[in-house]
Structure formats: C-alpha cells, structure tokens
Amino acid sequence: MSTGPLEKIVIVGGGTAGWITAAVLVRFVRARIPIELIESEDIGIVGVGEATVPVIRALNGLLGIDERDFLARTQGSYKLGVEFRDWARPGNVHFHFFGDFGDVIDGISAHHHWLKLRQLGDPTPLGAYSFPYVAGKLGRFAPPAADRRSPAADYNYAYQFDAGLYARYGRAATRVGRLHREPCAHRRQADRRGFVHRRFGVPRPSHWTGAASRLRRLVVVAAL
C-alpha cells in the first residue's frame, strides 16, 4: 500500500450524507486535495423526513448556510426534542428535550431540587421545568433569547426537513467549491432467492491502474 500523499478524495453517493461530507471537505481541504463526488441521477434520493439533533445548527453555520433560506427550501420546521413512545413499556412516553431543567440554585443543580420536591410529594414532572419541553408540548417556538439572564436563553433546537430537498440544497451549496460530480451507472440483478440487488459501476480514475489495479493515494468515502 502506498504511503505517499493523497492525490484525490472520491465520495460515492450524493444523498444527504454524501453532500455533507463533500461540503465539509470542500470547506477545509479543497485547496490542497481535489474532491470528486460520484452519484447517479437515475437512483434518486430518498425523500424522507430527516430528523436531526442540535449539532446540525453548528454544521450549517460552519458551511455558511442561512437558516431562513435553508428552512424555506427544504420545507423544514424547528425541532425542540425527540419523543419516544413505548420504549420502556407499552404506554410509556419519554420526551428528550434539547435543553436543561433550570439554573443552579445555591450551588446545587436544578434536578436535585426537583428530586427533593418529589420526596415531599410534589407530582410536577421534570419536563415542566424545561423551556423546550413546555414550548414543544404547546406547539410553540421562539429563538433562544439573546439576554443570557433570561430563562428562554439556555436551550437548543434542531430541524425536521425533507431529506431529498436537503440533498439538492447541498448540491447548490457545494458548487461554490467547484465540486465535480459524475453520473454513476447501475444495474439490477436478482439472486437465487429472488432478492433484487443493485450493482454500481463507477468511473475508473486514472489512479486505478497498474497490474493489480490497486488504489494508489486515493481515499474513497462511501456515502450511499
């Protein structure tokens, strides 16, 4: 295996994962290493509702994506947490919210005060002390307050959007970095049990040469 410097980075797959990988690499290494993304227009992108966690905001900020434009073009909405149903037992509902339960009181974290209240017979659920929990249950949203002293300042949020539209939005974003894209040929083949598989044929870069056709100084990132 060659230990020389990388000559190219190839990303296989142009869906959400593929374009995010490409966009980040364009942002940080495009000036030093050529980046190529291979995708197929025939296969298409799965247009499901993409669920995210707050780190998506940091990623969008890193890539210089405007939040309002992004939400409008991906049919997105704000997300304050994740609700889990029937995980511990049938009928159980747990809402994981993107925020804390309040500030420290007398040097003690807020959830310890809540536990003390429970011991004293107070039935108030822990989520009632969380701004994103209450807002989410009420179907409300407001950006975190700029004033750090406000109880509405210490929480986070994420997004829910159409994955297909998000990938297309990413394509436009990566064009700024002059990312190279090529179509990828594919065909279907059924095995003995009748299951259908897709076989992909990608363009053979100049690096795939030599007696053993080995990859030389080439990184291939699979992001199907």
Neighbours of 21 (CB within 10 A): 20
Question: How many Å separate Cα 134 from the centre of its chain?
Answer: 25
Question: What SS3 class is residue 217?
Answer: coil
Neighbours of 162 (CB within 10 A): 18
Would residue 79 show up in a list of annotated catalytic residues for this protein? Answer: yes
- Paired tokens of 115: 């536990």
Question: What SS3 class is residue 184?
Answer: coil
Q: Residue 40, CB half-sphere, CA atoms under 13 Å: how many?
A: 16
Give the catalytic positions in this structure.
Answer: 79
